[in-house]
Copies of this chain bind each other. A is one copy, B any other.
Amino acid sequence: MGSLLIGQSGGPTSVINSSLIGAVKQALKEGKIDNIYGALYGISGVLSENFLNLKEYENELDTLAHTPAALLGSVRFMLPEPTIGNETYEKIISVFKKYNIEYFFYIGGNDSMDTCNKLNVYFQKVSFKCKVIGIPKTIDNDLVLTDHCPGYGSAAKYVATTLMEIYQDIQVYEKGRITIVEIMGRDAGWLTAASKLTRINDEGVDLIYLPEVPFDMSEFLNSVKTIYQKNKKVLVAVSEGIRDQNGEYILKYRSFNNNDSFGHLQLGGVSLVLCKIINEQLGLSTRAIELNLPQRCASHLTSLTDFKEAANCGKWAVKYALKGKTGVMISMNRISDYKIKYDCVPLSKVASFVKGFPTEWIINNNDISDEYLSYALPLIKGETGPKFYQGLPVHKKIKR
Taking Cβ atoms with an 8 Å cutoff, the residues of A that contact B are 8, 12, 41, 44, 67-70, 73-76, 157, 160-162, 164-166, 168-174, 179, 197-198, 200-203, 255-256, 258, 260, 268, 272, 275-276, 279, 285-290, 292-294, 296-301, 303, 305, 377, 380-383, 388, 390-395, 397, 400
Contacts and interface: CB of A to CB of B under 8 A. Distances in A.
Contacts of A69: 165, 168-169, 171-172
A382 B391 contact: yes
A258 B280 CA distance: 11
B201 A392 contact: yes
Given A162-B294, A289-B293, A298-B162, A168 B395 contact: yes
A160 B391 CA distance: 9
Q: How many chain copies? A: 2
Contacts of A202: 397
24 contacts: A69-B172, A73-B171, A73-B172, A74-B173, A75-B174, A160-B392, A165-B293, A165-B297, A165-B300, A165-B393, A166-B294, A168-B395, A170-B293, A179-B293, A197-B392, A201-B394, A255-B276, A256-B272, A258-B275, A287-B293, A377-B391, A380-B390, A380-B391, A381-B390
Given A174-B73, A393-B164, A290 B293 contact: no
Contacts of A162: 294, 298
A293 B291 CA distance: 10
Contacts of A279: 256, 258
Contacts of A286: 258
Nearest to A254: B255
A139 to B, nearest CB: 12
A156 to B, nearest CB: 9
Given A74-B172, A258-B285, 18 more contacts: A12-B172, A67-B168, A68-B165, A73-B171, A73-B174, A157-B391, A162-B294, A164-B393, A165-B293, A165-B298, A166-B294, A255-B256, A256-B279, A258-B279, A260-B285, A268-B287, A289-B293, A303-B391
